[in-house]
Structure 1
Amino acid sequence: MSVCVTNSDEGIDGAAWQDLSSTQFKPSMASRAGILRLTPYALVHSATLRPALPTCREIEMHSTEKVSRIGTVTAAVIILSGAGGCGGHIDSNNSTPDAQQLAANCTSLASKGGASSFPVSGTNVLSSVVVPATPTAPQQCQVDGVINQRTGVDGQSYAIHFRLRLPITGWNGRFYMGGGGGTDGTLVDPSDVAALGYATIGTDSGHDNVADNGLNAGGTASFGVDPQARIDFAYNSYDEVARTGKSVVEAFYRHPASYSYFVGCSEGGREAMLMSQKFPTYFDGIVAGDPAFHLPLGPMSGLYSTQLFAGLATRMGLTLSNGDPAIAKTYSDADLMLVRGAVLSACDSLDGLADGIVDNLAACTAPLVEAKLTEVQCSGAKTASCLTADQITTLEKAFAGPVDSSGKQLYSDWPWDAGVSAQSGTTYSQNWRSWWLGTYTSATNNATKLVFAPAEAVAYTTPPRLPISAADALSYSLGYNFNTDPQTLYQTSGIYTQSAAQLYFTDNTDLSAFKSHGGKLMLYQGGSDSSLSRNDLVNWYNSMNKTMGNNAQMFARLYLVPGMNHCSGGPATDNFNMLPQLVNWVENGVSPDSVLASATNPGYFNVASRTRPLCPYPKQSRYKGAGDINVAANFSCQ
């Protein structure tokens, strides 16, 4: 016999559904998507009184009467039949309403008055509309709402916005939450996943990039002035939105989702790791891509590289029309192709195959690459076919990572990978250089790490450094003192009772609660990610594996993507879909021993197409010795 337990005091019961409205709800004391991976915009956090119960799953009742759930259960017990868990047949008294009734429930959601038992106080439904079916998506109920509308200490208006999509037809019984990107502030709406039959939700993490955009307070990072907005962005909004979404799903369909999933990349990857650590029972499966799990340190390292490249520009006599050092001019696209060539010359064959991909990145050490860079060093004047000694030395310092004057490492070093550039015809890959250097032809300094400098000053520094505007990004970066200023990432001050590190780091290596819940975690990162170092994630994974008894592969796997830039792009097999394999792992126990990936831009390899297996670390892809090297079937994970 199998049972499913629902927590009657934490959700919205079926009868109460008709009373949901735009009025405030009472608090409860209880508790690149199915499409490639989610890019930063599409990848999608406040104190919780009690952990919400995990998603409804089949619980086998043995003679020991052991129930594999986490949390306090005050429940109605629904008897299920079949072997499909809570996704199986549900007692007729709790069956999902038909499409006509679901559509009516959706329409009435924001129109009827009254209050009901939402898990988070201060929750308001702003609108609920039926979205007609399309050739690629089922009919849906789109619910937009807010949590905790308020005015911050800076006078700006704040609220945690969320959007929930509920399939009226074709619901697959699953709940999906997408992560954000950058500093968030844009409402995440994984509609592509909803089109696959998932009930989906996303949030802006508690601030709005349009409304909360203080000109002299870091622009879209101005939320960093408000302590609660920091907390919402760090963790609170994802907690409250996840619980709210699950509660609505259970009320709408008259039973909870069978399984719940979270997928995110970049900041969304940090949020994904957060869920496995701080809220380990919320999701059954999680994908965390290129995660900003040491969030303040990544942007801080950008200040370091900006200083290095600005200094190089000054020494090279490269200036913009306003007199600023022309950072992007320090390396042309052709220069970066020389760097790529040096990396490939040093390391391409370390995996047994010269194919433009450095699979054995762990063996591609700085001394190997630096020796090859010396071979392309100019013996005289700078030309398009050589690099100056200053260019080489500066790049080597940047790859070594930020240090203070004593040589203390402040953030991870960076791997020497071949995704620093690539060329297809006359087109050069811009992804890697966009973060550290910016566009070579730009009349302004537009490197992403430079653009992020005000966020470092306001959202990640305690207390915030004000005033600062976008125009101050370069002066702030160049004035940053690496002997003293990094301390502001770890200190508290006045109303800011938690440091940036306390708020934003998601580097806990003890995932025991997530593992005990039955959770499965898939992580990935590009070898040529110039936003966040692949080495940092590898170091964390190794530490986590040790903490978990050197048995992490049972529930958490890391996939490294050679050549891939931040979340996607570059000369890489960067096109992959982890969600189906995560679902199969969670629901059927089929572990993802490899992930099939294809090259979005195979022209970087001068071929029409290329596929490869992505292997769970520490395994690497190896050619079997026969067959087309552009076909994944001719490779294995070793």
Structure 2
Amino acid sequence: MSPHPSRIHPLALAAAVAALVAGCGTTTLHRAALPQLAAAQPATLLACANLAGSLALADTRITSSELVAAGPITVQNVATQAPAHCLIKGRMKERTSPVDGASYAIGFEIRMPVAWNGRFLHQANGGLDGSVVPALGAVSGAAPVAPALVQGFAVLSSDAGHGAPTPFFGLDPQARLDYGYQAVGTLTPMAKDLIRGAYGKAPDRSYIAGCSNGGRHAMVAASRYAEHYDGVLAGNPGFSLPKAATAQLWKAQQYAKISTTTDAAGQPDLTSAVTPAEFKLIASKVVGKCDILDGVADGQVNDVAACQATFNLQTDVPTCSGARDGSCISSAQKSVLASIFAGPKNSKGEPLYTGTWFDPGIAGSNFAFWHFGAPATRDAGAAAFLFTTPPTPLTAFKATTGMQYALNFNMETDYAKMFATTAPYTESAWSYMTPPNPTDLSTLKNRGAKMMVFHGVADGVFSPADTAQWMDRLNAHHQGQADAFARLFLVPGMNHCSGGPATDQFDMLAPLVAWVEQGKAPDSVAANARGAGAKVVNNELPASWSANRSRPLCMYPKVARYNGTGDVESASSFSCK
């Protein structure tokens, strides 16, 4: 019996849609030719230091401009050899809030290489934004080998309209809207104008890319700002972010039921609900049941759809009531885990957010962080100030703890505040955070623009099943032909944007450019494990894997299957079927 007997798996739905379209006989739909966009043409930097004085940019103040020599730039402890470039920093729409009295602006930086490839990349950053991180364009996979600046892009980064990575900006109505979507709309024309002044021409091709909330920014841009972007790259996208955040609070409530210890404040220590050894046990049982489904026992589960129908938490994991030594879990733990993986429901049994998948990556430390650490820290504040209307008063929030807020969150009454409006909060959180019409991307398609999405199968916060179901609905809306302009690539074993037992080092920006500008549609993307010798080593790789394991990431709903012969550590021994 499947752990989700009442749910049609999105991979199965995709197959059904494809069969329906194929079975139309003489009425079979024919692909209409989409416009082919021309390739970007390179140019050389003409101006840098004098840009601030020569441009009249509306509501924009350039705070610094300098020519940076070629050399290493370190971000997140990774040194990247960057080319010589012009670095511009500035602020847009500076103001003082009439609601909370705080100062706001859209802070940004843009790095423009001396030797430019004619392309612009809007680097959409993650989390709560709130800081202008270096605009290098490291936008896909773990420790990317070729960030966009290195590839010759002009790259923009911003704080999305507030100056600290804390949720309290949600008290200001305009800061909410900037975070949701308006900062992208404000920054885009400014950046293109700045590029025009620097090179004597506007960018030939424009891209937006990011992971997590950055993936959400990209998804929103594909819907709201399709006329401004030729290519969209969305990683582990939180396009249903308000629902995902409230689901995090619900998870805390479930884990609290089986927590066996408390913290210094006397509140449940969620990490005691399911230990790392117990998650490792479950992951090993998933491997035991599902590893061979893709044709080879290699410690990696590629066929996620077949796995959900094959693995059964109740019968495949030993049950016990004695000492917790990692060899079994209790019936109570199974009940809570089954509920969490199925997804939250209200008192009527209606789903409030999409459930997720059993995959070996659930043993990853990042998966555990999102389940146990994030609800009381990141998600409580985000729900209190950003995703409910009106926001919680600051004094009331600070009078309690994040854990208590999570445990008290009501999935009936508080959840409904996601869709509420008041004066002066005239746009609901659901409205300003999500793509307005995520399944109709006709503007993007008809322009000849392209979209690539990737998602780790073991993401602990944003459901990969939610993204797969979105792809199914997008495909259905576009008469089974969405792959002409949008493709999804699932990453087996990968947690939130990186990590877990996965081949999580890949570059999707270059394939996206080739698709947009040369018409080379990607059926798969090459991915590598980060074993010994990698720029950033992944310590969660199984010891049985080669340090250089490679795999194809297949276009959904295809799966990487072993060819029957060849080195199981090599991508060349697998085909997408």
TM-score, normalised on structure 2? 0.85
Pick the aligned partner of 1:461 from 388, 391, 398. 388
Q: Distance in 1 between matches of 2:323 and 2:203?
A: 66
Is 1:306 aligned to residue 252 of structure 2?
yes
Hey, what does 2:489 align to over in structure 1? 559
Q: Distance in 2 between matches of 1:115 and 1:275?
A: 26
Pick the aligned partner of 1:201 from 145, 153, 156. 156
Hey, what does 2:108 align to over in structure 1? 162
Q: Distance in 2 between matches of 1:329 and 1:197?
A: 48
Hey, what does 2:367 align to over in structure 1? 432
Hey, what does 1:74 align to over in structure 2? none
The structural deviation recorded for 1:447 is 3.6
Hey, what does 2:467 align to over in structure 1? 537
Hey, what does 1:14 align to over in structure 2? none
Which residue type is aligned with residue 49 of structure 2? Answer: T
Which has the higher Rg, Structure 1 or Structure 2? Answer: 1
Hey, what does 2:562 align to over in structure 1? 623
Q: Distance in 2 between matches of 1:604 and 1:596?
A: 20
Cα distance per residue 1:344-400 (max 9 Å; x no partner) = 223222222222222111122277322444x41115444331111111111111111
Instruction: Give unpaired runs (5+ residues) of structure 1.
Output: 1-66, 70-82, 89-95, 211-219, 422-428, 438-445
Q: Distance in 2 between matches of 1:84 and 1:183?
A: 36
Cα distance per residue 1:476-518 (max 9 Å; x no partner) = 1111111222110011111111111111112521010001111
The structural deviation recorded for 1:197 is 1.6
Q: Secondary structure at the match of 1:202?
A: strand
Q: Distance in 1 between matches of 2:35 and 2:440?
A: 20
Which residue type is aligned with residue 295 of structure 1? Answer: L
8 Å Cα contact 1:571-1:605 kept in structure 2: no
More helix as a share of residues: 2
Is 1:608 aligned to residue 554 of structure 2?
no
8 Å Cα contact 1:450-1:477 kept in structure 2: no
Q: Distance in 2 between matches of 1:544 and 1:234?
A: 22
8 Å Cα contact 1:342-1:369 kept in structure 2: no
8 Å Cα contact 1:613-1:621 kept in structure 2: yes
Which residue type is aligned with residue 389 of structure 2? Answer: T
Hey, what does 1:248 align to over in structure 2? 194
Is 1:276 aligned to residue 222 of structure 2?
yes
8 Å Cα contact 1:359-1:620 kept in structure 2: yes
Cα distance per residue 1:36-84 (max 9 Å; x no partner) = xxxxxxxxxxxxxxxxxxxxxxxxxxxxxxx979xxxxxxxxxxxxx97
8 Å Cα contact 2:452-2:488 kept in structure 1: yes
The structural deviation recorded for 1:255 is 1.2
Hey, what does 2:127 align to over in structure 1? 182
Instruction: Give unpaired runs (5+ residues) of structure 2.
Output: 1-33, 73-80, 137-146, 531-537
Cα distance per residue 1:556-580 (max 9 Å; x no partner) = 0000011110000001111111111
Q: Distance in 2 between matches of 1:605 and 1:581?
A: 31
Is 1:635 aligned to residue 574 of structure 2?
yes
Is 1:87 aligned to residue 41 of structure 2?
yes
The structural deviation recorded for 1:319 is 1.6
Q: Please give the residue correspondences for 1:223-372 in structure 2 after superposition, counting only pairs within 5 Å.
A: 223-313=169-259, 316=260, 318-365=261-308, 368-372=311-315
Which residue type is aligned with residue 576 of structure 1? Answer: F
Cα distance per residue 1:300-340 (max 9 Å; x no partner) = 00011000111211xx3x12233111111222221111110
Q: Distance in 2 between matches of 1:448 and 1:594?
A: 35
The structural deviation recorded for 1:448 is 5.2
8 Å Cα contact 2:376-2:405 kept in structure 1: no
Between 142-151 and 325-334, report the one with greater CA deviation.
325-334
Which residue type is aligned with residue 411 of structure 2? Answer: F
Q: Distance in 1 between matches of 2:170 and 2:305?
A: 37
Cα distance per residue 1:73-126 (max 9 Å; x no partner) = xxxxxxxxxx975627xxxxxxx5x66xx3xx312233x4x762x3xx311111
Is 1:142 aligned to residue 87 of structure 2?
yes
Number of aligned residue pairs: 513
8 Å Cα contact 1:357-1:562 kept in structure 2: yes
Hey, what does 1:109 align to over in structure 2? 51
Would the alpha carbon gap of residues 167 and 277 (structure 1) be closer, same or farther in structure 2, given more than 3 Å must change?
A: same
TM-score, normalised on structure 1? 0.77
Would the alpha carbon gap of residues 379 and 496 (structure 1) be closer, same or farther in structure 2, given more than 3 Å must change?
A: closer
Q: Distance in 1 between matches of 2:464 and 2:216?
A: 14
Pick the aligned partner of 1:394 from 336, 346, 360. 336
Would the alpha carbon gap of residues 333 and 68 (structure 1) be closer, same or farther in structure 2, given more than 3 Å must change?
A: closer
